[in-house]
């Protein structure tokens, strides 16, 4: 199962790097499309990996991730009804704050996911070492 987590992690990392590389060529169009794909991918990944995060001692980090995701999604989705009440240019400021937050949350998930995988690899190495000594 560890190879599946590594594949998931490296896929997200490659997508994130492609997003960053695409900015000078395609400006924000591919970055935003990549951010949407990465966000959906990370929500699915976090949904499946939350029990693993909790059992591995990353409960505080994954709860922080879910709280930040919920707050950011609420902020982004509130921009649509707020644009009818306020000047759309003013609401764009809130929208771009939410988009920036989504990028930061994506980086945060990559970091805690890497730590989880490193811990799993170390745990597997240690369990193999202790089994060989018996």
pLDDT single digits (tens) 66-109:
999 999 999 999 998 988 899 888 899 999 999 999 999 999 99
In a domain, 98, yes or no: no
Domain-embedded: residue 78:
no
Residue 45 lies in a domain: yes
90 in a structural domain:
no
Domain containing 61 equals 2-71+103-133
* Residue 37 domain-assigned (yes or no): yes
Count of beta carbons in the 10 Å neighbourhood of residue 111? 11
Q: Residue 93 domain-assigned?
A: no
Note whether residue 122 is domain-resident.
yes
What pTM did the predictor assign?
0.86
Q: Is residue 31 part of a domain?
A: yes
Q: Within 13 Å and on the Cβ side, how many CA atoms surround 28? A: 5
**Domain count for the chain:** 1
d(CA 27, CA 53): 35
């Amino acid at each position: 199962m560890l190879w599946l987590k590594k594949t998931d992690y490296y896929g997200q990392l490659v997508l994130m790097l492609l997003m960053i590389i695409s900015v000078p060529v395609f400006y924000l169009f591919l970055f935003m499309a990549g951010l949407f794909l990465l966000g959906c991918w990370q929500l699915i990944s976090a949904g499946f990996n939350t029990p693993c995060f909790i059992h591995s001692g990353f409960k505080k980090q994954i709860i922080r991730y879910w709280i930040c995701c919920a707050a950011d999604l609420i902020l982004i989705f509130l921009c649509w009804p707020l644009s009818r009440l306020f000047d759309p240019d003013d609401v764009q400021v809130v929208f771009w704050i939410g988009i920036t937050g989504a990028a930061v949350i994506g980086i945060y998930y990559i970091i805690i996911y890497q730590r989880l995988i490193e811990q799993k690899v170390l745990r597997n190495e240690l369990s193999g070492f202790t089994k060989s000594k018996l």
